[in-house]
Amino acid sequence: MEPTNDDDHRANGSDHNHLAKRPKLSSSALITDSEIRAEFAHHQSGIARINNGSFGSCPSSIIAAQKRWQLRFLQQPDDFFFNYLQKRILHSRTIIKDLINAEHVDEVSLVDNATTAAAIVLQHVGWAFAEGRFQKGDAVVMLHCAFQAVKKSIEAYVTRAGGSVIVVHLPFPLRSEEEIVAEFRKALAKGKANGKKVRLAIIDHITSMPCVVVPVRDLVKICREEGVERVFVDAAHAIGNVHVDVEEIGADFYVSNLHKWFFCPPSVAFLYCRKSPVSPDLHHPVVSHEYGNGLAIESAWIGTRDYSSQLVIPEVLEFINRFEGGIEGIRMRNHNAVVEMGQMLATAWGTALGCPPDMCPSMAMVGLPASLGILSDIDALNLRTRLRGHFGIEVPIHYQEIKDFQDGDGCVTGYVRISHQVYNTVDDYLKLKDAILQLVHDGVTCKMLSPV
């Protein structure tokens, strides 16, 4: 599309039939397999790319749309800045507002990525500690497998201002959501000990490594019951991967990348901030001309930069709606396919999935044969490098430490995190299956692999 001048359980991630409001677009024929292949023909050939979770994937038609917007700006920057940029960003925000069932478009800001969103929220919390509105020693609660960028933002903004951190240790492998809920309750109790307060809970909607769908609505409800002041859901992987309804989830802040599972080019994410008395005190960490005009407006102009990834959201939605069932249809098919492929791999390797299928999004953790001897994060990285360099397979490897583990116990300590996106085929997973079986057959262990 050329740029124009007119310009209960469900929210925890399980499948259901509720659809967020979607803008009506002109109907078109459903996309064909050959058209899907053409859209992703720019992917490096010969690579089994089963790691959509890390960086996502952008169709060629969206890359072309982005280039048109970039050129549109460069042709006449002043006209574009004064007459089109903010209108187009508002249009993109309105689309996201409808998709996630936000009450008002003012609650939706577009930012570069989930890292930026975390900085916005944690900067806000840090100021509350520094200015004495929160007491020294009051706590922030987070999962132990939170994104490293979130942990660093806590360090930068919260702990240096006097806040403490309570870590929830996510059990893995997992058998049920109740295990997560039990550990989360323990952490809240610890944070409230000795008269202290939990000022912020950070909850992943989908953890990254290991990958699990977290019962966010249940945990948010517990936070409200336990007097947690604010709740931030870090849902970097969520939109396009699980159902997102921010009204049902009920958190104060919710962020999801649009370049991971929503087909946008890097880098763009939305940050939902529920309207409240604290809303005016939220600010983008990059201060520019719009400071003080509300977070959404501040975020829409942080100085001269390339905003094209934010402008193509309408074209992305058109691409998504070429698939049967739109965004919900894509995610349901991806979920079903990744579970099927994960179970196939687990059977071939004599292992198991890391959690029940209904806790898998469009990604799944699959146990690796114990004979590979994955005994550290370095071992996991070396094995990943071997799969990439020798077999043409891109897939993350997770090392799971087991207490009281003795070398030779035969316990599963390594997992692959496989993703499924619309461009993947069964052959990608068969290639991974055969590569691991070949390494096992050859007696290869991680001790033999060259250091990275």
Q: Tokens for 195?
A: 């008269």
CATH number of the domain encompassing residue 300: 3.40.640.10
Residue where a domain terminates, one of 299, 319, 339: 319
Buried b (16+ CB within 10 A) or exposed e, 328-341: bebbebbbebbbeb
Give mean pLDDT, residues 431-449. 96
Dihedral angle sign, alpha carbons of residues 445, 447, 451, 452: positive
Residue 23 pLDDT exceeds 60: no
Same domain, 243 and 107: yes
Kindly state whether residue 440 falls inside one of the protein's structural domains: yes
Kindly state whether residue 297 falls inside one of the protein's structural domains: yes
**Average pLDDT of the residues of the chain:** 91
Read off the amino acid at residue 109: S
The tally of domains found in the chain comes to 2
Kindly report the CA angle at 188 between 184 and 194, in degrees rounded to 5? 155
Same domain, 268 and 331: no
What DSSP state is assigned to residue 430? H
Element (H, E) at 441: helix 426-441
Same domain, 176 and 295: yes
Same domain, 89 and 210: yes
- 3-class SS of residue 84: helix
Kindly state whether residue 4 falls inside one of the protein's structural domains: no
Residue where a domain terminates, one of 319, 336, 362: 319
Residue 365 pLDDT exceeds 50: yes
Kindly state whether residue 404 falls inside one of the protein's structural domains: yes
Kindly state whether residue 5 falls inside one of the protein's structural domains: no
| Contact indicator for 84, 7 with CB cutoff of 8 Å | yes
Which pLDDT tens digit goes with each residue over 83-92? 999 999 999 9
Same domain, 297 and 348: no
Which pLDDT tens digit goes with each residue over 260-310? 999 999 999 999 999 998 889 999 999 999 999 999 999 999 999 999 999
Same domain, 280 and 394: no
Same domain, 398 and 330: yes
Kindly state whether residue 82 falls inside one of the protein's structural domains: yes
State residue 14's pLDDT score: 43
Kindly state whether residue 48 falls inside one of the protein's structural domains: no
Give 17's pLDDT tier (boundaries 50, 70, 90).
Answer: very low
Give mean pLDDT, residues 384-389. 96
State residue 328's pLDDT score: 96
CATH number of the domain encompassing residue 441: 3.90.1150.10
Strands (DSSP E) contained in 158-267 are 164-168, 198-204, 230-234, 253-257
| Contact indicator for 420, 51 with CB cutoff of 8 Å | no
d(CA 15, CA 320): 18
State residue 29's pLDDT score: 84
Same domain, 153 and 108: yes
Q: Tokens for 167?
A: 């870590």
Same domain, 350 and 435: yes
Q: Give the domain extent around 361.
A: 326-448
Same domain, 134 and 270: yes
Same domain, 80 and 110: yes
Same domain, 197 and 339: no
Kindly state whether residue 53 falls inside one of the protein's structural domains: no
d(CA 445, CA 376): 12
Give 434's pLDDT tier (boundaries 50, 70, 90).
Answer: very high
Residue where a domain terminates, one of 319, 352, 382: 319
| Contact indicator for 423, 444 with CB cutoff of 8 Å | no
